[in-house]
Amino acid sequence: MTQLGPQAEATRRRILDAAIGLLAEQSFDVVSLRAIARQAKVDPSLVVHYFGSKEGLFRAIVEAQLRPAEVLAPLASVPVDELGERLVRTVDALWSSPEGRGMLAVVRRMLSSGTDVLPDAVTEQVLGRVLPLVPGDNEAERWLRLSLVASQMSGMLLTRHVLGLEPLASLTSDELADAMGPTFQRYLTGDVGGAS
């Protein structure tokens, strides 16, 4: 992303916030760029100027709310045998933050719509960034490990943060790391079967 001036950055942020608000309430298919512009009190042409399309806008929301690059960067310097525990702590903290909670409503709404934007955005932006951190002899093995990580991570998100399933929802960060850290560690560096 090119650097924007403070006023342009504020406008861009206002459009993002308007889009997050609308996408938490209505299906992705129904929300129009025009409606987002109206909500943000900007001209629709500005939405196109900053984000190109609704898909581009959604990717920008993922980027702004989940900040995958920023959040995951410190993991690059973590010893490989601590990666599982550090990963669960990092991601859990993110979903517990105000930005993460704002994103949950959007994710819930996306899950129910028929569009492929959610998996594409997740694959491209989140998984694609993590892939270089994943140990493995080849690309196929890295993707297997990563998709297993994604399965436990999305399930943690769903049960702990969306559904509030107890006692999982009330575990401290340390308890969660004790319980799930070894799962992530094995998916990242252990034997995950014949397919790897």
Q: Is 46 in the site for a copy of itself (CB under 8 A)?
A: no
In the list 108, 124, 135, 173, the residue contacting a copy of itself (rule: CB under 8 A) is 108
Task: Give 77 or 172: the residue with its C-beta nearer to a copy of itself.
Answer: 172
Q: Residue 52 corresponds to which tokens in the numbers above?
A: 């190109």
Applying CB under 8 A, among 112, 132, 137, 138 the residue interacting with a copy of itself is 112
**Pair of tokens at residue 134:** 């994943």
The secondary structure of 146-176 as a DSSP string is HHHHHHHHHHHIIIIIIS--TTGGG--HHHH
Give the one residue of 8, 71, 75, 162 binding a copy of itself; rule: CB under 8 A.
162
Q: Is 195 in the site for a copy of itself (CB under 8 A)?
A: yes
Say whether residue 115 binds a copy of itself (CB under 8 A): no
Decide: 157 and 48 in contact? Cβ < 8 Å.
no
One of 84, 109, 121, 126 touching a copy of itself (CB under 8 A): 109
Residues 164-193 that bind a copy of itself (CB under 8 A): 164-168, 171, 174-175, 177-180, 182-183, 186-187, 192-193
Do 55 and 119 contact (CB within 8 A), yes or no?
A: no
161 scored as a contact of a copy of itself (CB under 8 A): no
Q: Does 104 bind a copy of itself (CB under 8 A)?
A: no
- Quick check: 150 binds a copy of itself (CB under 8 A)? yes
Q: Is 117 in the site for a copy of itself (CB under 8 A)?
A: no
Q: Are 113 and 22 in contact (CB under 8 A)?
A: no
Q: How far apart are CA 145 and CA 143, in angstroms?
A: 5
Q: How many helices (H) does the chain have, and how many strands (E)?
A: 11, 0
Which residues have a Cβ under 8 Å from the Cβ of 132 and sit 6 or more positions away? none
Torsion sign over Cα 25, 29, 30, 36: positive
Return residues touching a copy of itself (CB under 8 A): 108-109, 111-113, 118-119, 122-123, 140, 143-144, 147-148, 150-156, 158-160, 162-168, 171, 174-175, 177-180, 182-183, 186-187, 192-195
